[in-house]
Amino acid sequence: MGASTAMMEAGMQGIADWWRRVNASTAWQEHIFLGLAIAYAVIALVALIQLIRIELRVPEYGWTTQKVFHLLNFIVNGVRAAVFCFRENVQALSPEVLQHILLDLPGLLFFTTYTLLVLFWAEIYHQARSLPTDNLRPAFLITNAVIYVIQACIWVCLLWSPSSVVLTVAKIFFAVVSLVAAFGFLLYGGRLFLMLRRFPIESKGRRKKLREVGCVTAICFTCFTIRSVIMAFSVFYKGADLDVLYHPILNAIYYMLVEIIPSALVLYILRKLPPKRMGGQYHPIQ
């Protein structure tokens, strides 16, 4: 009788220890997801503040590329922060395709946000080389429109017939999109960097612009390449599936490498505001 009681007590103690470990693990996961939500919220706030500062500095310029870039950064990081903060509510959404939209749409907007830089650099490069620029913006808009239409078709397929095949196609598509962005940064970021290096006049402004283009190109090429590789890898290795509600460590590493750290670094590098006005005119850049 005593032996049976001791065994029962030991069993109950083992169950209690296991339950404490589960609770500890859950709390630990909560902290990781909360940390990601806070990181995204901070970047969104920084982008919004920068957008407001630029608007106050040059309100008459309308929606410039710089303003749109910061607005999209605010939207992307704000949505990511909300998804990580309310991930349990996201998991409860029905139909399931709504979950995929909330997870995939910020990634597409991230692509649009940073390929704006590619467009801006392409225009600078073409103008400096006396090449036509008329087709650059239409090409940018058409490329983005095609990508969003294809992604919308994937969401419709998931709504009608959710299957592993459609999910695999979605991952491969996202990997290809990320690879296209990486190639764009390598192509036009690299061209602009080499052109600035060969520029005959040595000046402080040239050196600063050279560092800016070189750093942003390296950061964006690296983050989009990593995203492409990881998405392609997750197609063949199901354990690397980046579900926002599971794999907290994998999610933390992935989103820190491909979005949070690159966004923070690029916002810091591109923090310079347009020159101040004086009497309706701008100060010349020294």
Write out the chain's pLDDT in tens, 286 residues. Answer: 555 555 655 555 555 455 455 445 566 777 888 899 999 999 999 999 999 999 888 887 778 888 999 999 999 999 999 999 888 888 788 888 898 899 899 999 999 999 999 999 999 999 988 888 889 999 999 999 999 999 999 999 988 887 888 888 998 999 999 999 999 999 999 999 988 888 766 666 678 888 899 999 999 999 999 999 988 888 877 665 665 556 677 888 889 999 999 999 999 999 888 776 554 443 333 3
| 198 φ/ψ angles, rounded to the nearest 5 degrees | -85, 0
What's the Cα-to-Cα distance from 86 to each of 90, 92, 185, 198, 249, rounded to whole Å? 6, 10, 33, 50, 18
pTM for this one?
Answer: 0.83
Residue 88 corresponds to which tokens in the numbers above? 């349990």
Tell me, what's the pLDDT at 123? 92
Asked if residues 111 and 181 have their Cβ atoms less than 8 Å apart, the reply is: yes
Q: Which helix (H) or strand (E) holds 277?
A: strand 277-278
What angle do helix axes 261-269 and 65-85 make, rounded to 10 degrees?
A: 150
Backbone angles phi, psi at 278, to 5 degrees: -145, 115
Predicted pLDDT at 129: 87
Amino acid at 118: V
What is the 3-state secondary structure of 175-223? HHHHHHHHHHHHHHHHHHHHHHHCCCCCCHHHHHHHHHHHHHHHHHHHH
Token code pair at residue 105: 């749409």
- Long-range contacts of residues 247-256, Cβ cutoff 8 Å, at least 24 apart: 248/28, 248/29, 248/32, 248/33, 249/32, 251/32, 251/33, 251/36, 252/32, 252/35, 252/36, 254/230, 255/36, 255/80, 256/36, 256/39
The pLDDT of residue 279 is 47
Torsion sign (Cα): 252, 255, 261, 264 = negative
Residue 19 is predicted with a pLDDT of: 42
What H or E segment, with its residue span, contains residue 116?
A: helix 97-128
Distance of CA 122 to the CA centre of its chain: 21
CB-count burial class (<10 Å; 0-12, 13-18, 19+) for 83: buried
17: left (phi over 0), alpha (psi -120 to 50) or beta: alpha
Tell me which amino acid residue 241 is.
D
Per-residue pLDDT, 133: 87
The region that residue 62 occupies, defined by phi over 0 for left and psi between -120 and 50 for alpha, beta otherwise, is: left
